[in-house]
Amino acid sequence: MEKDKQAVKCFIAGLVSEHSDPGMDRLELSSSILIFAIPAYGILFRCRVDGDALDVEFAAFFSLLEFIKGNLAEQKIRTVEIMSSNPHFVFSFTGNSRHLAEGTSRRKLLEEYGRIFKIKIGHVDFLSNQALMPPDSYPSLPEKSKIRLAKSEEEFLSPRFKPLMRGVKI
């Protein structure tokens, strides 16, 4: 099988905490986190967001697809297999789900990415979801690896300080 024909297995998760942390509240940080992982490339991404469990899961899904499109274009990834532990998310892709109804922004985004990638959705047990693994569980990329993110070496080496961001509003 050719490399560009193989599916890249990815994992997503949306964690919504119902417990309030006084420190996070003081900084007005969201308590929910979207997570996506691409274990084959050693990538694990986490970001604070606002939203309910399904909104956060869809945010992780679309963030993953945008990351692959924008940062892994040289890898010629055409098929993406996305695994989630949220059954509501997985079942929203079957039949006439109101979450992906015709004309909705989610449906339009899905159709846009569907023109770029063949997308497969699957369910994975919570304990087997690699997006929920600690970062030190991911191997480092080999030194000879040719993965280049969208930034040049100069951009990576130039120090930039960014203010603390409050999270993404969904």
Residue 24 covered by a domain? no
Task: Give me the CATH number covering residue 33.
Answer: 3.30.420.10
Is 10 part of a structural domain of the chain?
yes
Has residue 93 been placed in a domain? Answer: yes
Asked, for residue 110, whether it belongs to a domain, the answer is: yes
User: Is residue 140 a part of any domain in this protein?
Assistant: no
- Asked if the structure places residue 123 within a domain, the reply is yes
For residue 37, is it within any domain?
Answer: yes
**Using one digit for the tens of pLDDT, what is the confidence trace for 71-122?**
888 888 999 999 999 999 998 888 777 787 787 888 898 889 999 999 999 9
**Range of the structural domain that residue 81 is part of:** 3-18+29-135+145-169
Label residue 1 by pLDDT band (50, 70, 90).
very low
Phi-psi bin for 42: left (phi > 0), alpha (psi -120 to 50), beta? left
What number is the average pLDDT over the span 152-159?
Answer: 64
Helices assigned H by DSSP within 22-147: 22-26, 53-71, 87-91, 105-114
For the segment 6-27, the average pLDDT, to the nearest whole number, is 79
User: What is the DSSP secondary structure assignment for residue 86, as one 8-state letter?
Assistant: -
Q: Beta strand 32-38 with 43-50: parallel, antiparallel or unpaired? A: antiparallel
Structure tokens at 28: 């007005």
Structural domain total, the chain: 1
The answer to whether position 23 is within a domain reads no
What pLDDT is attached to residue 157?
Answer: 66
